[in-house]
Structure 1
Amino acid sequence: MDVKRAMDIYTSKEMIPVHLDGESVWIERVDEENGMATVQVGSRPTNTHTVGVDRLEEQRK
């Protein structure tokens, strides 16, 4: 995924499924300047990772 799409998903009012290495994640923050995103893995709010947005995949319907 690119930074623009990550920002679109982050700011969307819709719930858009995103995966990181096959696991469902929620985008918590996008650092547009550095191409990074902080994501919550699963349902545990303390399980967050900061990764390159290129590692994120949008789950297509």
Structure 2
Amino acid sequence: MDKQRAQEIINSPTMINVSYHGIPVYLQEVPLNGGKARVFPLDELHNEQEVDLNGLFEEGPY
């Protein structure tokens, strides 16, 4: 996923399904520098992680 699309998903008023290597995640933030994003798995809301943008895939809206 590119940085611009990740930011669009974050700013979207509707929930857009995103996965990281097949694991559903909530896309929380895209820092200004680098190719990373801050996410957390939907089944582990306390487990925030920084991941590579190229591992994120858009699954579409609910």
Give TM-score, length-normalised by structure 1.
Answer: 0.87
The 3-state SS of whatever aligns with 2:16 is coil
Name structure 1 gaps, 5 residues minimum.
none
Aligned pair count reads 61
Provide the alpha-carbon RMSD of the alignment: 1.4
The reply to whether residue 41 of structure 1 matches residue 41 of structure 2 is yes
Superposed structure 1 runs of 4+ greater than 3 Å apart? none
The runs of 5 or more residues in structure 2 that have no matched partner are none
State whether structure 2 residue 21 is matched by structure 1 residue 21: yes
Report the counterpart of residue 51 of structure 1 in structure 2: 51
When normalised by structure 2's length, the TM-score is 0.86
The reply on whether 1:3 has 2:13 as its aligned counterpart is no
Identity of aligned residues (%): 31
